[in-house]
Amino acid sequence: MPALVTKLGIPCYFIMGDYDYMTSSHAAKEFFDKLEAEQKEFIAFDQSAHYPQFEEKEKFFEWGSKTFL
Q: Please give the full DSSP string across 52-64, using - where no structure is assigned.
A: HHHHTHHHHHHHH
Residue 49: pLDDT band (50, 70, 90) is: very high
Q: What is the pLDDT of residues 13-40, one digit of tens each?
A: 999 999 999 999 999 999 999 999 999 9
Residue 1: pLDDT band (50, 70, 90) is: low
pLDDT at 4: 84
* CA dist., res. 30 & res. 55, Å (int): 24
Q: Could you tell me the pTM of the whole model?
A: 0.85
Residue 33 lies in a domain: yes
* Overall domain count for the chain: 1
Residue 1 lies in a domain: no
Mean pLDDT of the chain, nearest integer? 94
Residue 2 lies in a domain: no
pLDDT higher than 70, residue 69: yes
Residue 57 lies in a domain: yes
